[in-house]
Amino acid sequence: MTNDPDLRAAVTRKFVRRTIVYLALLGALLFLSAGTLDWPGAWVYLALSAIAGGGSGLLLARHDPELLLERLGPMIQRQQKSWDKLLLSLFLVLYLGWLVLIALDAKRFHWSSMPVALQVVGAVLLCITFYAMWRVMRENSFAAPVVKVQRERGHKVVSTCPYALVRHPMYAGIIPLLIGTPLLLGSWWGLIAAPLLLILLAIRAVLEEETLKAELEGYKDYAARVRFRLFRIFGRSAPDRRFGSKRLFIFRP
């Protein structure tokens, strides 16, 4: 991590610009799909994204600007694995379609009716996601958004908490978002569709581990010590087979 004030300032400006554009596009997608601005859940969603997501990014710009600069990079990169380019592109398309489905369901056609109490639960789950992401990025300076080994940055295995609990705390932290977003926005159909996104993340977690075991020194030993991918409370020690377990492989050791 660098203490260069010029780098911190430049990364902060880039992050602020990117966040403004992201929130504007996200709001346009939601409200145009809904056909109305009268959608309190969407305004809360945008506010949480701006306050929690934006605030954590500004803190990261102060504490680890190199990581934030890495995370502001393009979704498709030269060093990135080809399968990751495909999975990330597919995830982005499905994620945007998921948000459109939520807007159509919750506001334009009113297929769903969500109790206010569950919408509050959704907001809490989103806050949990933002906190989990912040903890991961504060602990792991190599938490890039694409799968690659960052040799130029001295990439090494991180095994302290939350990585001492599960091998993929970033992915685990996304799960509350996939549940909380449709709850807050008021869409049962969005909640039903969320497992499709989770399956993509789970596949990516398995393939990412294969890359790290092959290319990152010490990762095999780390994976042997920390047996669980996403949930520490599920499963028992078992050989690391990719698929074919009677359990969902995302919960397996």
pTM of the predicted protein model: 0.86
What pLDDT digit, counting tens, does each position of 97-148 carry? 999 999 999 999 999 999 999 999 999 999 999 999 999 998 999 988 898 8
* Contact of 223 with 213, CB cutoff 8 Å: yes
* Contact of 137 with 143, CB cutoff 8 Å: yes
Which is more confident, 44 or 143?
Answer: 44
What pLDDT digit, counting tens, does each position of 156-215 carry? 999 998 999 899 999 999 999 999 999 999 999 999 999 999 999 999 999 999 999 999
SS3 content of the chain, % helix, strand, coil (to 5): 65, 0, 35
